[in-house]
Amino acid sequence: MTGVKNTSAAPKPSKVQRQYLERGLKQPGGKLPLFDKHGQRIREQTIRACMDHGWCEPWARNPIKPDWIVCRLTDAGRTALQSKGTV
Protein backbone atom coordinates (compact mmCIF):
# COMPACT_ATOMS: atom_id res chain seq x y z
CA MET A 1 0.00 0.00 0.00
CA THR A 2 1.75 3.13 -1.13
CA GLY A 3 0.98 6.51 0.31
CA VAL A 4 -0.46 5.05 3.52
CA LYS A 5 1.11 6.40 6.65
CA ASN A 6 1.79 4.02 9.55
CA THR A 7 -0.20 5.50 12.42
CA SER A 8 0.28 2.63 14.87
CA ALA A 9 3.22 4.31 16.59
CA ALA A 10 3.12 7.89 17.79
CA PRO A 11 5.90 10.05 16.34
CA LYS A 12 8.80 10.82 18.65
CA PRO A 13 10.64 14.12 18.87
CA SER A 14 14.09 14.36 17.34
CA LYS A 15 16.98 15.25 19.63
CA VAL A 16 16.68 18.96 18.78
CA GLN A 17 12.89 18.94 19.18
CA ARG A 18 13.20 17.11 22.51
CA GLN A 19 15.72 19.69 23.80
CA TYR A 20 13.34 22.49 22.83
CA LEU A 21 10.27 20.86 24.38
CA GLU A 22 12.02 19.85 27.61
CA ARG A 23 12.71 23.51 28.37
CA GLY A 24 8.96 24.03 28.81
CA LEU A 25 8.66 21.41 31.55
CA LYS A 26 9.95 23.74 34.26
CA GLN A 27 8.40 26.98 33.03
CA PRO A 28 5.11 28.46 34.24
CA GLY A 29 2.35 27.39 31.86
CA GLY A 30 4.84 25.30 29.88
CA LYS A 31 6.22 28.40 28.11
CA LEU A 32 8.80 27.44 25.51
CA PRO A 33 11.92 29.52 24.88
CA LEU A 34 12.70 31.71 21.92
CA PHE A 35 16.43 31.15 22.44
CA ASP A 36 18.53 28.12 23.33
CA LYS A 37 20.81 27.94 26.35
CA HIS A 38 23.63 29.48 24.27
CA GLY A 39 21.54 32.53 23.34
CA GLN A 40 20.88 31.39 19.77
CA ARG A 41 17.35 31.78 18.43
CA ILE A 42 15.41 28.51 18.17
CA ARG A 43 14.95 27.65 14.49
CA GLU A 44 11.44 28.30 13.21
CA GLN A 45 11.57 24.91 11.47
CA THR A 46 11.95 23.21 14.86
CA ILE A 47 9.07 25.16 16.39
CA ARG A 48 6.76 24.56 13.42
CA ALA A 49 7.54 20.83 13.35
CA CYS A 50 6.63 20.59 17.04
CA MET A 51 3.43 22.53 16.38
CA ASP A 52 2.57 20.23 13.45
CA HIS A 53 2.82 17.22 15.78
CA GLY A 54 0.70 18.96 18.41
CA TRP A 55 3.54 18.99 20.96
CA CYS A 56 3.30 22.76 21.39
CA GLU A 57 0.83 25.47 20.51
CA PRO A 58 1.01 29.21 19.92
CA TRP A 59 0.56 31.04 23.18
CA ALA A 60 1.18 34.74 22.90
CA ARG A 61 1.96 37.28 20.22
CA ASN A 62 4.98 39.51 20.57
CA PRO A 63 3.96 42.95 19.30
CA ILE A 64 7.58 44.04 19.03
CA LYS A 65 8.64 40.95 17.04
CA PRO A 66 5.47 39.63 15.36
CA ASP A 67 7.46 37.05 13.36
CA TRP A 68 8.57 35.30 16.58
CA ILE A 69 6.44 32.33 17.57
CA VAL A 70 5.87 32.14 21.34
CA CYS A 71 4.56 28.69 22.23
CA ARG A 72 3.73 26.54 25.20
CA LEU A 73 4.01 22.82 25.74
CA THR A 74 0.82 20.79 25.27
CA ASP A 75 -0.27 17.60 27.01
CA ALA A 76 0.69 15.76 23.81
CA GLY A 77 4.15 17.30 24.10
CA ARG A 78 4.50 16.09 27.67
CA THR A 79 3.44 12.61 26.54
CA ALA A 80 5.94 12.66 23.65
CA LEU A 81 8.72 13.55 26.10
CA GLN A 82 7.86 10.50 28.20
CA SER A 83 8.44 8.20 25.21
CA LYS A 84 11.83 6.54 25.05
CA GLY A 85 14.30 7.43 22.32
CA THR A 86 14.19 9.87 19.44
CA VAL A 87 13.64 9.61 15.72
3-state secondary structure of 45: helix
Residues near 11 by Cβ (< 8 Å), separated by ≥ 6?
53, 80, 87
At 74 the pLDDT is 97
pLDDT truncated to tens, each residue of the chain (87 aa)? Answer: 344 444 446 789 999 999 999 999 999 999 999 999 999 999 999 999 999 999 999 998 878 888 888 999 999 999 999 976 655
What residue ranges in the chain does DSSP mark as E strands? 56-60, 70-73
